[in-house]
Amino acid sequence: MTIQFGLVGSDGVAIVGDTLHFDSSSAIRTTFKASKIRYNSRGTIAIAWAGDGNGLLVSKRIAQEMPDDCDIPQLRIEEIAEKTWDSLTYGGDSVLLIAMRTPEPRLFRLHLGKVGASIHNVLDRVCSGDAPNIAAYFVERYYQRRPIEELAAIAAHSVLLAHKFNSGGIGGLEITLCRKSGFTSMPVSVVPDIEAEIQQFDRNLETTLLSCGKKFTYAPDVIG
Span 46-100, pLDDT tens digits: 999 998 778 899 999 999 999 988 888 999 999 999 999 989 888 889 999 999 9
Distance CA 99, CA 44 (A): 8
pLDDT band with cut points at 50, 70 and 90 for residue 223: low
104-157 confidence digits (pLDDT tens)? 999 999 999 988 899 999 999 999 999 899 999 999 999 999 999 999 999 999
Residue in 184, 148, 183 with CA at minimum distance from that of residue 6: 148
61 three-class SS: helix
Q: Is 140 within the bounds of a domain?
A: yes
- Comparing 12-16, 96-100, 185-189, the range with the smallest average pLDDT is 185-189
Q: What is the CATH number of the domain that holds 25?
A: 3.60.20.10
Structurally, the chain folds into a number of domains equal to 1
- Decide if 202 is inside a domain: no
Residue 224, pLDDT > 70, answer no
Maximum distance among all Cα pairs of the chain, rounded to whole angstroms: 73
- Alpha-carbon dihedral of residues 68, 69, 74, 78, nearest 10 degrees? -60
Tell whether 220 is covered by a domain: no
Q: Helices (H), strands (E): how many in the chain?
A: 5, 12
- What is the spatial distance between Cα 8 and Cα 168, in angstroms, rounded to a whole number? 29
Q: What's the pLDDT score for residue 91?
A: 81
- 50 domain residue, yes or no: yes
Average the pLDDT over 205-219 and give the result: 85
**Dihedral, CA atoms, 14, 156, 120, 165, nearest 10 degrees?**
170
The pTM of the full predicted model, rounded to 2 decimals, is: 0.91
Q: Is 178 inside a domain boundary?
A: yes
Q: Which structural domain range is residue 173 located in? A: 3-186
With 90 as the cut, is the pLDDT of residue 160 above it? Answer: yes
What is the distance between the alpha carbons of residues 101 and 38, in angstroms, rounded to a whole number?
Answer: 14
Tell whether 11 is covered by a domain. yes
Reported as a pLDDT band with limits 50, 70 and 90, residue 23 is: confident
Q: What is the pLDDT of residues 199-211, one digit of tens each?
A: 999 999 999 999 9
pLDDT recorded at residue 26: 74
Query: Is position 149 within any domain?
Result: yes
Instruction: Please say if the pLDDT value at position 222 is more than 70.
Output: no
Q: Is the pLDDT of residue 28 over 70?
A: yes
Residue 126 domain-assigned?
yes
Q: Which of 166, 151, 180 is nearest to 6 (CA)?
A: 151
pLDDT at residue 150 in the model: 97
Distance CA(178)–CA(188), nearest Å, equals 18
C-alpha–C-alpha distance, residues 30 and 24, integer Å:
7
